Chains A and B, each alone.
Chain A
Amino acid sequence: MGLIKKLPVYTEHIPGGSLVTTSVNSVLTMAQAKSLWYLLFGTACCAIELMATGASRYDFDRLGMIFRASPRQADIMLVAGTITKKMAPRVKRIYDQMAQPRYVLAMGGCAIGGGPFYYDCYSVLKGVDKIIPVDVFVPGCPPRPEALLQGCLEVGKKIRTLKLDEWS
Chain B
Amino acid sequence: MAEELRTEDMTMNMGPQHPSTHGVCRLVLTLDGEVIKDCQPVIGFLHRSIEKMCENRTYAQCIPLMDRFEYCTSMSCNWAFCLAAEKLSDIKVPERGEYLRVIMGELNRIASHLIFVGVTPMDCGALTPFLYTFRERERIMDLFEMTCGQRLTYNYIRIGGVAKDIPPEFIPKCREFLDIFEEKIRDYEKLLVDNPIWIARNKGVGIITPQLVYDYCISGPSARASGVNFDIRKNDPYSIYDRFDFDIPLGTGGDCYDRFNVRVNEMRQSARIVAQALDHLPDGEIRVKVPLKFKPNPGEVYSRRENSRGEMGVYLVSDGSTKPFRIRARGGSFSHLQAVPHIVKGLKIADLVAIFASMDIIMPEIDR
Contact = CB atoms under 8 A, between A and B. Distances in A.
A48 B46 contact: no
Interface string A97-123: 000000000000000000011011111
Contact of A121 (B46, B48, B118, B119): B48
Contact of A44 (B17, B64, B118, B364): B364
Given A55-B134, A56-B131, A69-B19, A45 B71 contact: yes
Contacts of B118: 55
A49 interface: yes
A120 B48 contact: no
B49 A45 contact: no
A44 B65 contact: no
A116 B68 contact: yes
Interface in B48-67: 48-49, 52-53, 56, 64-65
A52 B145 CA distance: 15
A48 B71 contact: yes
A44 B152 contact: no
Given A44-B364, A84-B47, A56 B135 contact: yes
B129 to A, nearest CB: 11
A48 B48 contact: no
Contacts of A141: 153
A144 B19 contact: no
A55 B135 contact: yes
A51 interface: yes
Contact of B56 (A55, A116, A120, A144): A120
A3 to B, nearest CB: 29
Nearest to B72: A48
Contact of A82 (B18, B44, B48, B152): B48
B137 interface: yes
A49 B152 CA distance: 8
Contacts of A41: 17
B341 interface: no
Contact of B45 (A43, A51, A119): A43
B152 A45 contact: yes
B46 A44 contact: yes
A86 B47 contact: yes
Interface in A46-91: 47-49, 51-52, 55-57, 69, 71, 81-82, 84, 86-87, 90
B130 interface: yes
What range describes how many residues of A lie at the interface? 20 to 34
A136 to B, nearest CB: 21
B135 A44 contact: no
A56 B64 contact: no
B23 interface: yes
B17 A94 contact: yes
B17 A117 contact: no
B24 interface: yes
Contacts of B115: 48, 51
Contacts of A117: 48-49, 53
B134 A57 contact: yes
A42 interface: yes
A52 B64 contact: no
A122 B152 CA distance: 25
Nearest to B71: A45
Contacts of A33: none
Nearest to B364: A44
Given A49-B152, A90-B17, A119-B56, 11 more contacts: A43-B363, A51-B115, A55-B131, A55-B134, A55-B138, A81-B46, A84-B48, A116-B64, A116-B68, A117-B48, A123-B49
Closest 9 A/B residue pairs (Cβ): A55-B134, A45-B71, A56-B135, A69-B19, A57-B138, A56-B131, A87-B45, A120-B56, A120-B53
10 contacts: A43-B46, A52-B138, A55-B131, A81-B46, A87-B16, A87-B24, A87-B45, A116-B68, A117-B48, A119-B56
